[in-house]
Structure 1
């Protein structure tokens, strides 16, 4: 029986080659998109699932949002270790930032060759109870519990020593030497951890305010995390602070998609991207399924006599339904095979788009799921056509009286309306995304990004000095370098330090105000725009920070937003005024006002900023160089040489400020590209759906077209008559798409501090595009029908 169904299906495919090819092509496009997105989604949701007891591990975060800042993932290990006395906490683990403590230098030498240990962190010895690491040589616990102990990843060991069995090798640094005591396999890609080197680090039990560690807690089953976070807040902070700063516990499994702090070990994913991709993939499968239904029903007239004959010979409705369902399932399975081939061809480009290394494992459960989805799509898409075609009356079909019910027409028109609505919405979303990204890229940052070279993570005391240090002088002397400045903040990442200012009129702010420590040359090097006053200058002794009678006095540049916040309508009125602080013993004399400067990412960039001359609390700083970019390769080479020779800093982190800023928008650019690709596919599949319904309408109205031609109607008038029906459906789809799209796009734009307004012309363009494509699709079929001689259609009448 099954074999007969398959043979009959193959014969039907042979007789209806065009219909078969369109169905297979449409379904294969939808399934290929679904497979790609499923691979991406499964990978995103798999992050850190391999870690021991991952569902019970939480990272400690500090919430500064009430002070106008963000949630940061860095906290104090000793505080967490003291909290281990609580029954809910089973174990505590920490990864300590090496550049924040300077106790674990990353710059080392081996056999007179300089190296920088990549991804170096101090780690507690219980690391294997929190992270699934495969030790290749030595002992991790011994390496991280022995002073000067070091553990290297496989790639780091090969890079430095040329071998994996490196236990016992020594690396010399400025404070002594490391001894390699373990080598571990490289971390998997699907983890938020990003270290390649681990060193022994001793935490000071007396220091309860040093926030330089990623701290992880393993909690007992069924722990109330919110109650524990409240208890930890009360322990970490004094009562007067607990209302402003609080402790949060973030599940390990959620960090990749939800953690957005600029201090993450590596850039995470976005739940929004996963949801958008999954949603668009489902939409494509639905559109492909709708096309299958429309085109199958459109061909029903060609199968009507077959159904009539088979019913006259005794075939039951169940047998006919099974026959047509078997055809749709075969089409779906063949489409799945073609989709898998397409996936293999497209996967490298898709990996580059989403910045992942995805592979399809056909010997896994994933293949079973894909097969099940293909069968389900075939059954669901073929169900309505199967019942529709098998419901034909044998007597009426064989007598030539084939009538179609209003329900079938309503279903087909509803599906096409929904497809057109989705296409319009996706076009609007794509154009708006592109506009928003272009707007963000064109926003004035308050500083110049072009021709600025940045050297990151340099020891602050080595570069931020009142008199230019030898290192800074040597960097400034490089040919092609116009001027050099030092700041203690990564402008494209986030603010590191804040103060609680009291304005000159005696009023204080509720939150904290970001500060940036700089040297004298910050205005010239960064290209800050002076609105009032002057920049910092070595000619004024009071500009550089100095401690006098228990008060830190420092020259200050403020932004226009700060001047307004302090109550001054004219920026020049603030020049010469002194800003004090709440309990911090600072007197900040305003020497100038600059145009607003945006620091951080595009969605929450902060422009209420004060620049302090010679004052910084962080251990590292950045050197920013105004350069002649034509000499970039030479300058980079010279910078590397100067740092190695004069500071024993190897493999420095050097980048162009313009590229750093572009990287801020890379995530949104990926979303835009994904939406654009899926939009193009959705519009294309909608064209196929329109083709199917237009084909059905043309066949149904062939006699009407012939009669109109006999009566003198032109081809153009016939085309417009047929197209009118579809354009009315497009008009209905516009009425559905506009309000829903306006709300969804507006909700997305609300995530940005700086954003565009939705443009009416975009909505008009989307509607005209879909209407134009629909008209062209219908016109192509109508023109062919209108060109047919009426005698060929009416000769049997």
Structure 2
């Protein structure tokens, strides 16, 4: 019997090739898109799960309010980790990472440096917490000695080729020698530690030996013992604060921790599961830019919608062709076929179509995966050898076939044989019409939501690109690693300024693009008072920083060589002035400490206030910031006046190679740095737009099917109207009016849902566009135009048909 079902199904599919193609095309697009999105979701959810005991590894997060600033940090004080290990047996092991930024590295005995962008200090316990396999070296020894380094396999090949690197020396920043003590496998790309590829022993860092409870700079990880409840363990942090942090508060502020809390300030520590970091953490001092669980939810919904739309299309197209199969149903029933047998026949047909579509979908997904990887910034591999993948795919495809074919199967099998064979079948039953209308409304609710979402994302990204940031980011050339010039940094700057297309230049490690920076605490002149503290960024700059970056001085003045006293002068932004509580802070004195031991007190005089400018992501409000005159030779920033950019860069490079032979010339542009901050949003926007377009295409196939059905069931009516003198335009309008009502309903339902969803997305940005009525009106108009364009073919075709053909049987 089943074999007979397959034969009949195959014959019917071949007989109606055009509708079979539409069905398969829609299902294939839906399945392929759903497959790609599922790959993306699985990839996002699998971060950091490759480590052994990943479920027992937690990172310590810090939440701090002090000096008018709220800080959410992914780092903790340096003594916290091993203090917890000492005091609490629930902790099996601890380790810390301290990012050391970019470094120049070369093999001892050579002259050519290479720039490493992500270098970290790590405790000797790193390999006890994270199960990164060591290719060479013993895990309890490789980082136990000062001035040792563990390289990834990639770095080992880069520096030493096929030679054995163990015992070899690397020179960092031209002055410190490290001995290679171990080689580790590359950390998986699906880890928030993926940029960690060069580990220096923590004991090499002086800062790690200061035992400073007030300086939060260390990514701290705990491996809890089996059976330990992390929520219960978090309660011990209050004890740690009272026992250790309170002493630091007393020595620094001269007050108690209770008084600090009483004034509204606080320090809090919490645990975050390792496997949650990638999707749930967007804190200061993250090791990597993380993902966002909201995007996972959004794409999961889009995947379901795409599959649902594909199933809806099948239902509409199947019912559109129902009259052509009415006689078949009548004959089968007359010959004794029961309704269940007919249902099985039609379900077999739909499942067969589903599996044929699956074959095409697999090919589409395989061929488009490289493009999707580029779009999403992923390295997803097609899981050809994954048995679970194929099992889920087969089950899903069967379910999709059954669901997609269920409504047509029960609808067609319900025909009465006598009425069918008399050609008096009524296909416009109230219930059936209502179901089809609901499905079309459902399709266009999704389309409206996706069109609105695409428009909002595009507008927000455009807003970010064009918003006035309060500083120049265009035509700004950044030369990295200026410290490689040694004592010639200033001379390099002066020589570069002689190049024709260079307007001005500045030397500083601090730039208005998001990076790992530390806040500093200042107090008004006089005694330290914890409720008078001012927490703000402190940037070391030179005399030309304000001019080169185009910062606007609101009151006071900028730094000037005419004022030797500017060595203790300080410029603050408007946000800092507001925290200070002064209408005009120019001339006021504030002081802070230059060392962790609180022995080097420096008093500054405010000489100017610059207007607020964005030095962090637009997701955050502008914080308090200060500028001081101090040598910080990280980068040379050059303002160009446009024109021959490649030639200008070449001239700067030639000068660099003359003054810093053997040092790599590495540069970037500030606007590119800024764009990189929002790369995840840009990628999400591109993915969203792509699948929104696919969903609209699939939805149009369903609308095409319904228009074909409508034209077919109203063919005689159209013939009568034409005989009575109706014009083609009036008939097209008549057929289109029904769809327009459905589209209006879809717009009314989809618009508020889209508003709610996109409003929540925009709330992640402190600075964003406002949702305007015209955005929803534009989406509605676009939906109407798409619908009219889709149904116009069938409407015009029906209107132009010779009425004799439709009325000859009457």
State the TM-score, normalized to the length of structure 2.
0.89
Instruction: Please say if 1:534 is aligned against 2:557.
Output: yes
Selected match of 1:92 from 88, 91, 94: 94
What is the rounded CA distance, in whole Å, between the counterparts of 2:82 and 2:700 in structure 1? 63
In structure 2, relative to structure 1, the CA distance for the partners of 1:320 and 1:165 (3 Å cut) is farther
What is the rounded CA distance, in whole Å, between the counterparts of 1:141 and 1:158 in structure 2? 23
Selected match of 1:700 from 685, 709, 713: 713
Partners of 1:517 and 1:613 within 8 A in 2: yes
Instruction: Please say if 1:491 is aligned against 2:512.
Output: yes
Selected match of 2:536 from 481, 489, 513: 513
What is the rounded CA distance, in whole Å, between the counterparts of 2:230 and 2:655 in structure 1? 48
Matches within 5 A, 1:74-85: 74-84=75-85, 85=87
Q: 2:32 aligns to what? A: 32
Q: 1:170 aligns to what? A: 169
Q: 1:126 aligns to what? A: 125
Instruction: Please say if 1:471 is aligned against 2:481.
Output: no
Deviations 1:495-540 (A, max 9, x none): 5223355499x99668733332322221112111223322101221
Q: CA deviation at 1:347?
A: 1.1
Q: CA deviation at 1:455?
A: 4.1
- Secondary structure of 1:575's aligned partner: coil
In structure 2, relative to structure 1, the CA distance for the partners of 1:349 and 1:503 (3 Å cut) is farther
What is the rounded CA distance, in whole Å, between the counterparts of 2:392 and 2:65 in structure 1? 43
Q: What residue ranges of structure 2 are gaps of 5+ in the alignment?
A: 247-256
Deviations 1:70-121 (A, max 9, x none): 3222223432112113022111112233359xxxx75333332333473332
Q: What residue ranges of structure 1 are gaps of 5+ in the alignment?
A: 464-468, 546-554
The 10-residue stretch of structure 1 (737-746 or 417-426) with the greater mean CA deviation from structure 2: 737-746
Q: 1:330 aligns to what? A: 352
Q: CA deviation at 1:164?
A: 5.9
- Secondary structure of 1:599's aligned partner: coil
Matches within 5 A, 1:107-506: 107-116=105-114, 118=116, 119-163=118-162, 165-173=164-172, 174=174, 177-193=177-193, 194-202=195-203, 207-209=211-213, 211-236=216-241, 237-238=245-246, 239-240=257-258, 244-364=266-386, 365-404=388-427, 405-456=429-480, 469-478=487-496, 480=499, 481-494=502-515, 495-502=517-524
Q: CA deviation at 1:615?
A: 8.8
In structure 2, relative to structure 1, the CA distance for the partners of 1:534 and 1:220 (3 Å cut) is same
In structure 2, relative to structure 1, the CA distance for the partners of 1:502 and 1:374 (3 Å cut) is farther
Selected match of 1:558 from 572, 594, 597: 572
Q: CA deviation at 1:295?
A: 0.9
The 10-residue stretch of structure 1 (26-35 or 245-254) with the greater mean CA deviation from structure 2: 245-254
What is the rounded CA distance, in whole Å, between the counterparts of 2:340 and 2:166 in structure 1? 73
- Secondary structure of 2:266's aligned partner: coil
Q: 2:673 aligns to what? A: 660
What is the rounded CA distance, in whole Å, between the counterparts of 1:320 and 1:164 in structure 2? 73
Partners of 1:98 and 1:106 within 8 A in 2: no
Instruction: Please say if 1:759 is aligned against 2:777.
Output: no
Partners of 1:60 and 1:75 within 8 A in 2: yes
The 10-residue stretch of structure 1 (338-347 or 88-97) with the greater mean CA deviation from structure 2: 88-97
Q: CA deviation at 1:775?
A: 1.6
Q: CA deviation at 1:579?
A: 4.5
Query: How many residues of Structure 1 are paired with residues of Structure 2 in the alignment?
Result: 768
- Secondary structure of 1:517's aligned partner: strand
Please provide the CA RMSD for this pair.
2.8
In structure 2, relative to structure 1, the CA distance for the partners of 1:188 and 1:59 (3 Å cut) is same
- Secondary structure of 1:208's aligned partner: coil
The 10-residue stretch of structure 1 (72-81 or 450-459) with the greater mean CA deviation from structure 2: 450-459
Partners of 1:476 and 1:483 within 8 A in 2: no
Selected match of 1:600 from 588, 613, 616: 616
Q: CA deviation at 1:558?
A: 2.5
Deviations 1:441-496 (A, max 9, x none): 11111111122223456669x98xxxxx5323224323535433234434211552
What is the rounded CA distance, in whole Å, between the counterparts of 1:92 and 1:644 in structure 2? 42
What is the rounded CA distance, in whole Å, between the counterparts of 2:530 and 2:131 in structure 1? 53
- Secondary structure of 1:383's aligned partner: helix
What is the rounded CA distance, in whole Å, between the counterparts of 1:235 and 1:508 in structure 2? 23
Matches within 5 A, 1:43-54: 43-54=43-54
In structure 2, relative to structure 1, the CA distance for the partners of 1:305 and 1:501 (3 Å cut) is farther
In structure 2, relative to structure 1, the CA distance for the partners of 1:575 and 1:170 (3 Å cut) is closer
The 10-residue stretch of structure 1 (160-169 or 53-62) with the greater mean CA deviation from structure 2: 160-169
Partners of 1:33 and 1:281 within 8 A in 2: yes
Q: CA deviation at 1:651?
A: 4.1
The 10-residue stretch of structure 1 (148-157 or 764-773) with the greater mean CA deviation from structure 2: 148-157
Q: CA deviation at 1:708?
A: 0.2
Instruction: Please say if 1:590 is aligned against 2:598.
Output: no
What is the rounded CA distance, in whole Å, between the counterparts of 2:164 and 2:401 in structure 1? 55
In structure 2, relative to structure 1, the CA distance for the partners of 1:12 and 1:379 (3 Å cut) is same
The 10-residue stretch of structure 1 (667-676 or 701-710) with the greater mean CA deviation from structure 2: 667-676
Partners of 1:556 and 1:592 within 8 A in 2: yes
The 10-residue stretch of structure 1 (172-181 or 701-710) with the greater mean CA deviation from structure 2: 172-181
Deviations 1:248-278 (A, max 9, x none): 2111111111222352222222212222211
What is the rounded CA distance, in whole Å, between the counterparts of 1:644 and 1:140 in structure 2? 38
In structure 2, relative to structure 1, the CA distance for the partners of 1:632 and 1:428 (3 Å cut) is same
In structure 2, relative to structure 1, the CA distance for the partners of 1:736 and 1:34 (3 Å cut) is same
What is the rounded CA distance, in whole Å, between the counterparts of 1:559 and 1:149 in structure 2? 42
Deviations 1:349-407 (A, max 9, x none): 11111101111112202222122211111111111111111111112211222123211
- Secondary structure of 2:379's aligned partner: coil
What is the rounded CA distance, in whole Å, between the counterparts of 1:231 and 1:459 in structure 2? 44
Q: CA deviation at 1:320?
A: 0.8
What is the rounded CA distance, in whole Å, between the counterparts of 2:353 and 2:802 in structure 1? 35
Q: CA deviation at 1:175?
A: 5.0
The 10-residue stretch of structure 1 (633-642 or 444-453) with the greater mean CA deviation from structure 2: 633-642
- Secondary structure of 1:70's aligned partner: strand
The 10-residue stretch of structure 1 (221-230 or 663-672) with the greater mean CA deviation from structure 2: 221-230
Partners of 2:124 and 2:202 within 8 A in 1: no
Partners of 2:326 and 2:412 within 8 A in 1: yes
What is the rounded CA distance, in whole Å, between the counterparts of 1:224 and 1:459 in structure 2? 48
Q: CA deviation at 1:132?
A: 2.8
Q: CA deviation at 1:339?
A: 0.8
What is the rounded CA distance, in whole Å, between the counterparts of 1:636 and 1:654 in structure 2? 10
Partners of 1:90 and 1:219 within 8 A in 2: yes
Q: CA deviation at 1:162?
A: 1.1
Q: CA deviation at 1:568?
A: 6.0
Partners of 1:597 and 1:607 within 8 A in 2: no
Q: CA deviation at 1:220?
A: 2.1
What is the rounded CA distance, in whole Å, between the counterparts of 1:254 and 1:609 in structure 2? 32
Partners of 1:143 and 1:199 within 8 A in 2: no
Partners of 1:292 and 1:381 within 8 A in 2: yes
The 10-residue stretch of structure 1 (494-503 or 360-369) with the greater mean CA deviation from structure 2: 494-503
What is the rounded CA distance, in whole Å, between the counterparts of 1:326 and 1:378 in structure 2? 8
Q: 1:549 aligns to what? A: none
Partners of 1:58 and 1:217 within 8 A in 2: yes
